Each structure stands twice: as C-alpha cells, then as structure tokens.
Amino acid sequence: MATNLILSGGVAHDFPATSAALAGVLSEVGVESTVTEDIAGALTAGAEFDLITVNALRCWNDGGWSAGEGGAPFRLPPEGRDTLRRHLARGGGMLAVHAASICFDDWDGWARTLGASWRWGVSGHPPLGPAEVKVHGGHPIVDGLADFELVDEVYSDLDVLTGVQPLASSLGQPLVWARPAGQGRLVYDALGHDTRSYDSPAHRTLLRRAALWLLRRPLDG
C-alpha cells in the first residue's frame, strides 16, 4: 500500500469533500491517503510519504481576496518548502490539483516545480459548468484515453512555463501535464473544483493512471 499526504483546505471550495473524493479515487490503485488542513504542521512533522498531493487554495499575494472569502493569507514556511524539495529529491511523486496553481505564491520555487502559476488580474475561468476535455496522446498517463466531458471549471490564462506539454486541454487551455521534478515526478491536473469532477469515470481513470505513473508502477486501463 502506497502512502499519500493530501494537503487540503482554503476558501471558495469544499475541500473536505474534494479531498475525500480524491482519496477515494486513489484508493482504487492501492494508495492510502492522510488528509490534513494543517499544511505547515504536516510538512514539518518529519513523516515521509510515497506521494504528496496538493488540493488546497492557500496563498499570500492575492490582494486581500482570501480575506474577502473568509480565509487568511498563508505563507509556506521554509521548513515546509524544504520538505517538498526533499520529497522530490529522493524520487517521490507529487500530484497537484485545481487550485494548487494558486497556492504557495510567496515561493517562486513552487511555480517552477508545478510548471505554472495563477496570475491575479489575468488568470480566471468561465462559469462552472459542462466542459469538453481534449486528450493529447504521447504520454503513458493518457495514451488510449478518449476525449471526455464533465462538470468543472476550466482554468484559463495561467502563467505556464515554456516547454510544458499538455496531456489534456479544454477551450485551448492546458489542463493536465506531467513533468520531472528533481529526481521525482509531478502531475498537475487543473480539474477538480467540486465532487462532480470526481464523479466523471474518465477523470477518475486519468487520476488513477497519474498516481501509478507518479509511483512508477504499471498503469491500469
């Protein structure tokens, strides 16, 4: 059984529900998840996991938006940054979903690791609703998977690093990609606003395959 730490919590989303749904999907491929909203505490506790998953919206430089939504600004402490670096340096896998591109924005290293970041005043999304997702071949995670539709938000106009190759897109926007990170691996999946996203069989298949790729295990169908 592989172990996974889900860093959860924040504003404007039902993170307890989506983290539970995500844990359920990953359990289907033998991943046991621990969910925490104490991101700083969990990353400084010293425990090691096979995977670390970021399903959160915890940021600093948002012009007061988080406070307006009932949250508070968040800085990832240096010890937490070091934990993420060490995890990847020893070959660990990292799954980042949806609002993870908004997280940890006081640390430039997070955007470089993730491959993109949210740019306030530029990035956004159409209203939550049906979205058609186009799957791009050429990577084990998505090879053989068909295009699909689900209910979700399509994050648009992220500040995406040069060289990021999308595995899936919608409305011309890159949504999913996989990349090396240190000696480890990272997958970013911009989908996952609410549990309806995780009700999609196609999205669940993509996530299971992403987890297996991150763990360097044979992929299922």
The predicted structure's pLDDT at residue 220: 62
The answer to whether residues 124 and 190 touch, using CB atoms and an 8 Å cutoff, is no
**What is the phi/psi pair of residue 26, to 5°?**
-70, -25
In a domain, 196, yes or no: yes
Return the DSSP state at 91: T
Taking all residues of the chain, what is their mean pLDDT, rounded to a whole number? 96
In a domain, 220, yes or no: no
**Which residues is 6 bridged to in the sheet?**
35, 53
Sheet holding 168-170, edge to edge: 31-36, 2-10, 51-57, 93-97, 184-189, 173-181, 168-170, 129-135, 148-152
In a domain, 15, yes or no: yes
The predicted structure's pLDDT at residue 94: 98
In a domain, 86, yes or no: yes
The predicted structure's pLDDT at residue 219: 87
The residue written with tokens 């430089």 in the block is 61
Range of the domain at 14: 2-214
Low-confidence stretches of the chain (pLDDT beneath 70) = 220-221
In a domain, 219, yes or no: no
Sequence-ordered list of residues with C-beta below 8 angstroms from that of 128, at least 6 positions apart, any chain: 151, 152, 153, 193, 194
The predicted structure's pLDDT at residue 221: 47
Q: How many domains is the chain built from? A: 1
pLDDT digits (tens, 9 = 90+) for 147-163: 999 999 999 999 999 99
In a domain, 8, yes or no: yes
The kind and range of the H/E element at 31 are strand 31-36
The predicted structure's pLDDT at residue 80: 96
pLDDT digits (tens, 9 = 90+) for 68-97: 999 999 999 999 999 999 999 999 999 999
Spell out a b/e string for 65-99, using b for 16 or more CB atoms within 10 Å of the CB, else e.
Answer: bbeeeebeebebeeebbebbeebbeeebbbbbbbb
Could you tell me the CATH number of the domain that includes residue 106? 3.40.50.880
The predicted structure's pLDDT at residue 47: 87
The predicted structure's pLDDT at residue 151: 98
In a domain, 74, yes or no: yes
In a domain, 221, yes or no: no
Query: What is this structure's pTM?
Result: 0.97
